[in-house]
């Protein structure tokens, strides 16, 4: 199953080149972990896949089920089935979390009125997943990320992924700011999503989440290039030796 | 009559705004708009409510004159010009030029008494502008242990006119008040609006406000938590449409021990609209163990729009249960846009959602049974 394919991706922001020929696949029913030190290009890769305008693709391609996404704006990519949980999502005063999810579902279903709940099971689903994520139902009526704690923001991003049912889920540091119980919870949900056949790109600095969920593929990006790609043993290597070692070993010519 | 003459003198003597009205001594209201209309004649015709509001059945209408119809049991309505035992402006006070102007010129008034222990489901009060000056003064006295839901529709039509509206409300001991206020004006209309609410012992007030429009709207909601264990929950939505200016103030002053207050406002600015959204939460020295929060968030959608969020928190006692404030003024920044687009929504949908969201914050539109976006249909 092809899922999401990134091929020889070269990206710049204004005059700075940030990705240099990234190639990787995120297959359905798998977890592909992207690791790397701060500023290595992990989030940039996610933003480029999602079509953020300031990220200019110079060369290469991004495909979903074999179809190039490069000419599609962000919202079209979302409607095709790509979802990104942001590392630090912005506050949106005045818009409730439930309003956003209902609008996103209606848009996906092609309903012209984005505000009405046509299928009550959507609300049930929101409540169910909120409970699973240890989020109070009240959070659905709160304005998006306004006054949310760090943990609530992370779980709210995951809640949207569960409710919106995308094909590909990109999670940018879903474990940062979570306590150990929170990390375990996220890991369990990732396992469920994988079992449902979702393609999951999991961006993280640390391997601590891999104690609870094993990635199928691990790619380490350093300075915008792939340093090493392999199985879960790559994450163990990072954890054991650190990024300085990876840089020295895999970029040494 | 002597009183009226005193107010005429005060119009000359008092400034539009007292120093200290804002910590920056800034003028958020364009007083020139009011100054240019002070000599308007009294209106000879009154505005009509727009179609989407016509389904509301007013019990009390203030226009050129006072009309009361189908007043529910437990409510007494009297023409304020004929009631001798209450003194208008007793709660509001007269400290500024526009208050003096109103006190001198208001032409239609209502004294509304909600009797003790009565329960009033829906009392609809309408205040209409006209083709000149109209001044409305309303005194509402909610009796002890009474339970009242009041809707105030304040409308100004398409004339370059002026309206002043002052309400003085008292929620007596152990009463419960829910008041929805819709202030909706055409682009040429100017309004000076003040709503005063005094909340006595163990009384609870829920105040909901939606404002939009006006060449200059000065809207102030002053809430005094006077009684022990008094409660206030006030939320406002403000929509600055293109070519309109609003200076909005929502204040809570705590004097009652263990009183609880929340004031929050959400605003959106469209086109070249202007919105100053201010809020003061003040805990006086006698209000021990009070709690108070103030929030103000403004989103600017128009490229030439201007918006300010000015929350203030003043605490004059060492014994406070809770006090907090937050504020933001945001434009649709690239990160907001990206975030919502990544959920499948385009810019137009996002803007509509932000406008609708800001309007729904106060729940006035749903309480009146109107679609949030219908306020653009005037």
- Residue B186 CB neighbour total at 10 angstroms: 21
> ∠B79-B81-B82 over CA atoms, to 5°?
70
Give the position of tokens 């804002």: B22
The residues near B194 (Cβ < 8 Å, ≥ 6 apart) are: B92, B99, B165, B166, B167, B219, B220, B221, B222
The residues near A205 (Cβ < 8 Å, ≥ 6 apart) are: A35, A36, A37, A38, A173, A176
The 3-state secondary structure of A63-108 reads: EECCEECCCCCHHHHHHHCEEEECCCCCCEEEEEHHHHHHHHHHHH
pLDDT digits (tens, 9 = 90+) for B313-326: 999 988 889 888 88
| 3-state secondary structure (DSSP) of residue A234 | helix
Please report, for chain B, how many H helices and E strands are present, in that order. Answer: 6, 19
Q: Do B336 and A93 touch (CB under 8 A)?
A: no
Q: Do A54 and B334 touch (CB under 8 A)?
A: yes
d(CA B211, CA B364): 10
DSSP state of B375: G
pLDDT value, residue A187? 94
Question: Nearest by CB to B335, which of A90, A100, A164?
Answer: A90
Which regions of chain A are under pLDDT 50? 253
Q: Do B338 and A53 touch (CB under 8 A)?
A: yes
Residue of B nearest to A142 (CA): B361
Residue of B nearest to A84 (CA): B342
Cα B214 to chain centroid, rounded: 14
pLDDT value, residue B1? 54
pLDDT value, residue B22? 54
pLDDT digits (tens, 9 = 90+) for A170-183: 999 998 878 888 89
| Domain residue ranges in chain B | 2-377
Strand residue runs (E) in chain A? 4-13, 16-26, 30-35, 56-64, 67-68, 82-85, 92-96, 143-144, 168-172, 199-204, 217-222, 225-230
In CATH, what number is assigned to the domain containing residue A138? Answer: 3.40.50.300
Q: Which of A46, A72, A62, A55 is nearest to A3 (CA)?
A: A62
Give the C-alpha distances (Å, rounded to integers) separating B178 from A112, A248, B138, B183: 35, 69, 16, 16
pLDDT value, residue A231? 96
Alpha carbon of A234: minimum distance to chain B alpha carbons (Å): 31
Q: Do B343 and A100 touch (CB under 8 A)?
A: yes
Q: Do A95 and B342 touch (CB under 8 A)?
A: no
- Residue A69 CB neighbour total at 10 angstroms: 22
pLDDT value, residue A120? 85
- Residue B69 CB neighbour total at 10 angstroms: 10
CB neighbour burial string for A209-226, b if at least 16 within 10 angstroms, e if fewer:
bbebbbbebbbbbbebbb
**Structural domain count of chain A:** 1
Alpha carbon of A251: minimum distance to chain B alpha carbons (Å): 34
Which regions of chain B are under pLDDT 70? 1-2, 19-26
pLDDT value, residue A253? 47
Q: Do A103 and B326 touch (CB under 8 A)?
A: no
Residue of B nearest to A75 (CA): B344
pLDDT value, residue A122? 87
For A194, the domain range is: 4-251
Question: Nearest by CB to A95, which of B328, B344, B353?
Answer: B353
Residue of A nearest to B326 (CA): A147
- Residue A204 CB neighbour total at 10 angstroms: 23
Beta-carbon pairs below 8 A across chains A and B: 83
């Amino acid at each position: 199953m092809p899922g999401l394919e990134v091929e020889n991706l070269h990206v710049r922001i204004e005059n700075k080149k940030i990705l240099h020929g990234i190639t990787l696949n995120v297959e359905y029913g798998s977890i592909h972990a992207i690791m790397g030190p701060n500023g290595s290009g992990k989030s940039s890769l996610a933003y480029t896949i999602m079509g953020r305008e300031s990220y200019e693709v110079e060369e290469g391609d991004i495909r979903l089920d074999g179809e190039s996404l490069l000419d599609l704006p962000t919202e079209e990519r979302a409607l095709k089935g790509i979802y990104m949980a942001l590392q630090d999502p912005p506050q949106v005063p005045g818009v409730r979390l439930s309003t956003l999810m209902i609008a996103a579902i209606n848009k996906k279903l092609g309903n012209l009125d984005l505000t009405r709940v046509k299928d009550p099971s959507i609300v049930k689903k929101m409540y169910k997943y909120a409970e699973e994520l240890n989020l109070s139902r009240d959070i659905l009526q709160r304005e998006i990320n306004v006054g949310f704690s760090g943990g609530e923001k992370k779980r709210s991003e995951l809640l949207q992924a569960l409710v919106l049912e995308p094909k590909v889920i990109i999670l940018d540091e879903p474990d940062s700011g979570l306590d150990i119980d929170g990390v375990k919870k996220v890991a369990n949900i990732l396992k469920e999503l994988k079992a449902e056949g979702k393609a999951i790109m999991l961006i993280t600095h640390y391997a601590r989440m891999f104690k609870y969920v094993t990635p199928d593929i691990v790619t380490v990006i350093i300075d915008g290039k792939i340093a090493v790609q392999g199985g879960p043993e790559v994450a163990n290597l990072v954890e054991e030796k650190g990024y300085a070692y990876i840089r020295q070993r895999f970029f040494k010519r | 009559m002597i009183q009226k003459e005193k107010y005429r003198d005060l119009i000359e003597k008092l400034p539009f705004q007292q120093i200290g009205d804002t910590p920056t001594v800034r003028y958020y209201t364009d007083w020139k708009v009011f100054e240019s209309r002070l000599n308007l004649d009294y209106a000879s015709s009154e505005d009509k409510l727009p179609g989407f509001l016509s389904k509301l059945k007013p019990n009390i209408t203030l226009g050129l004159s006072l009309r009361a119809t189908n007043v529910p049991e437990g409510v007494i309505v009297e023409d304020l010009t004929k009631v001798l035992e209450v003194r208008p402006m007793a709660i509001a006070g007269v400290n500024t030029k526009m208050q003096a102007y109103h006190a001198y010129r208001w032409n239609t008034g209502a004294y509304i008494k909600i009797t003790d222990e009565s329960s009033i489901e829906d009392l609809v009060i309408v205040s209409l502008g006209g083709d000149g000056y109209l001044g409305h003064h309303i005194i509402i006295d909610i009796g002890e242990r009474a339970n009242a839901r009041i809707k105030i529709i304040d409308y100004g039509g398409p004339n370059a006119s002026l309206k002043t509206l002052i309400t003085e409300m008292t929620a007596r001991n152990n009463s419960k008040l829910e008041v929805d206020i819709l202030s909706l004006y055409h682009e040429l209309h100017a309004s000076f609006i003040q709503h005063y609410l005094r909340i006595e012992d163990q009384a609870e007030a829920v105040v909901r406000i939606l404002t939009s429009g006006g060449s200059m709207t000065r809207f102030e909601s002053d809430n005094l938590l006077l009684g022990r264990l008094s409660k206030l929950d006030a939320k406002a939505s403000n929509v600055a449409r293109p070519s309109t200016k609003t200076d909005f103030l929502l204040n809570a002053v705590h004097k009652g021990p263990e009183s609880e207050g929340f004031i929050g406002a959400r605003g959106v600015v469209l086109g070249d609209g202007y919105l100053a959204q201010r809020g003061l939460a003040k805990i006086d020295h006698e209000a021990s163990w009070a709690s108070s929060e103030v929030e103000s968030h403004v989103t600017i959608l128009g490229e030439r729009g201007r918006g300010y969020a000015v929350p203030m928190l003043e605490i004059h006692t060492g014994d406070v249960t809770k006090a907090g404030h937050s504020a933001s003024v945001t434009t649709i920044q690239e990160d907001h846009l990206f975030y919502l687009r990544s959920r499948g929504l385009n810019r137009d949908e996002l803007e509509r959602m932000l406008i609708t969201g800001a309007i729904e914050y106060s729940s006035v539109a749903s309480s009146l049974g109107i679609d949030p976006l219908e306020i653009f249909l005037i």
